[in-house]
Every structure is written in C-alpha cells, then in structure tokens.
Amino acid sequence: MADLVVARPEGLYCPPGGFFIDPWRPVERAVITHAHGDHARAGHGRYLSSRASTPVMRVRLPGISLTTLEYGETLRHEGVTLSLHPAGHVLGSSQLRIEHRGEVWVASGDYFAAGERDDPREHNRTCTPLEPVACHCFITESTFGLPIYRWAPQDDVFAAIDAWWRDNAGNGRASVLYAYALGKAQRVMAGVDRSIGPIVVHGAVDTVTRAYREAGIALPDTALVTELDDPSLVRRCLVIAPPSAQRSPWLRRFGDMSDAFASGWMQVRGARRRRSVDRGFVLSDHADWPGLLRVIAATGASRVIVTHGFESAMVRWLGEHGYDAGAFATEYGDLDDDAPVAT
Ligand SMILES: [Zn+2]
C-alpha cells in the first residue's frame, strides 16, 4: 500500500488525492488544519477547512476561495474520502482524515490534549475539544514532545493570573499580558475572573475576538483602550496584547504597569527573563507530553510520523515502544502563534 501522505518541497502532499495539507509554498489545492500563520498561508488556488474556522480564516486570509466541511462530514475527491475532526487547538482547528482503498491516515495539524486521561476540566473552553480518530498512520505534531512538558491544571494557571491582576489593580497598576492574538488571547479572557476589572484588548486581539464571537463562542466584554472613558479604570484593567506590542508606543498610555507572558514556553528555565517580563504563566494550546502519548495511543495507529517540534526525541521514544515511527521535515513552527520564545 502506497503512502497516503508524503513530504514534498511545497508541503505535505496526498498523492492519490492530488492536494496538499497546510502547504508552505503556493499550490493549487490546500487543506488547511487551522488559521495560524504557519499552517494557513496566502497564495493557494483553493482552500478547504472546517466550517467552524470560517470567521478566523476570513480574518487571516481575506478573499480566498474557501470550501468548508462540518466536523465529521465526508468529501469524496479522486477516490479519496476526506473528513475533518476537532483538534482542540484554536477555533476551527482540525485533524484531517484521509481514507483510500481501506487505508486510513490522519494528519493532526496542531492539537491540544493535556494529561494522561481525558479530563473535561482541562479542555480548551474556546473551541471544540479534540476527538481521537482511529487510523493506520497518524501524523503528529511534537511542539512540546519532551517528557518535561506537563501542564498544570488550567484553573490553577487562571487563578495565578487572577492573583497577579488583583494585586496590580489593588496597587493602581495596569496588568499587561502578552498572549498570541489567535487562540491564546481568547482562552485567557474566557478563563480569568472578570469581576477584577475591565479587560482591554489590543486591536490585533480585538479583530480575532470578534471572529470568535461571530462563531458563537461566549467571551466576556472587552474594550479598546480608547473606549475607556474613566482614566481610573486603566489602573485596574487587564490588557491582552500580542507579543509584538511589547516595547511599542501603544503601551505608554497604560502608565505604571506590570507585564507577563502566557505561553507553554514559560516552563523553560530563563524564558521569562529572556522575554524581560515580570511574570510568566505556563499556558499552552499544544498537547503536553502525556497528552501527545495519549492521543497517539487512542488512534490505534501502528505507524506514526512526527512533525515540527522535538521530532528526534519523539521518534526515538515511539520506536522503543513498538511503533513504526518516522519524521517529516516541515516548515511549521516558524510563524506559529506559539513559536518558541526567541532568546
Ligand atoms: Zn497552531
């Protein structure tokens, strides 16, 4: 049986179906797992993605020729059956299932699963949780594919953010939290205690947040800083801004403030200091090590192909545990909204 997905210079390619998956060079047909910049690039002829991703795809790639599928809906194309299944990473994120002549492969894109057991309390509350999909071969990401990465209960992380915010508000200081504009920012605003003060968002966060609301995701009220008429409110607010806003003139209007960064990379020793922020909160939209292993096991796949992250460590571990394991070199990660924190 020939492989259903191979690596080509343009991206991951399905030979029997004649389409690419999250290609990094322009192609005619692209299936897009989610709207982060390293997976959803401009310049392709036609795009296919999940219906749930439509508002964020339109924000990120205006004017594209986009066909959508509901999760679980099947599409027949050139003798291949395609379907998209929730990945739990950001709004509309999908795993792609490909079936051809009885062989089933699943390409995960980026996905989120925390811990050894599936606990609904740990799901990303701003999108549909991941559903493992049975397959013969699973193509998995490995962004946090090392045993050191184990996420704490998310309510503990949100409680720590609340305590920092409450303390700052009590001292008349704004709390500026850097979080990627697509996914992380919405997860933060959905998780914090909104009674502490107003939530102010940077324009880049506001655009994506509107797309989330359009998709029916319940999020607390947020304001642009220009909409805060009472200056005393600025000293009690939580400001959610993309990392690119750090050291920008836009921040000056908040006066005295404390700043923090929310990312899985905050677990790495020295990351907070390299980012030059007061606090680091370990909050990721990618699977931790036990989550990766749990999802891989749940697919029942005997063959696993590892992409972007700690490929060699993960391939070695999988090989030692009875899997037929290999890797694809990809160009994911460099434009990822959860890319490694630059040193
Ligand atoms: Zn992503």
Return the pLDDT at 1: 77
Q: What is the pTM of this model?
A: 0.94
- The alpha carbon of 123 and the centre of ligand 1 are apart by a number of angstroms equal to 16
- The alpha carbon of 169 and the centre of ligand 1 are apart by a number of angstroms equal to 32
Q: Confidence class of residue 335 from pLDDT cuts 50, 70 and 90?
A: very low
CA 331 – CA 287 distance, rounded (Å): 19
CA 164 – CA 272 distance, rounded (Å): 15
- The alpha carbon of 174 and the centre of ligand 1 are apart by a number of angstroms equal to 29
Residue with tokens 């322009």: 26
Which residues are near ligand 1, the ion (C-beta closer than 5 Å)?
36, 110
- The alpha carbon of 86 and the centre of ligand 1 are apart by a number of angstroms equal to 13
Asked whether the beta carbons of 334 and 36 are under 8 A apart, the reply is no
- The alpha carbon of 196 and the centre of ligand 1 are apart by a number of angstroms equal to 30
| DSSP secondary structure of 107-148 | E--S----SSS--GGGS-TTSPPP-----SEEEEEETT-STT
- The alpha carbon of 128 and the centre of ligand 1 are apart by a number of angstroms equal to 15
Phi, psi for 335 (deg, rounded to 5): -110, 15
Query: Which residues does residue 105 pair with via DSSP β-bridges, in sequence order?
Result: 98, 137
Return the pLDDT at 275: 87
Q: How confident is the model over 137-161, as pLDDT tens digits?
A: 999 999 999 999 999 999 999 999 9
Phi, psi for 130 (deg, rounded to 5): -60, 140
Q: CB neighbours of 9 closer than 8 A, spacing ≥ 6?
A: 25
**DSSP assignment, residue 340?**
P
Is the confidence at residue 339, as pLDDT, over 50?
Answer: no
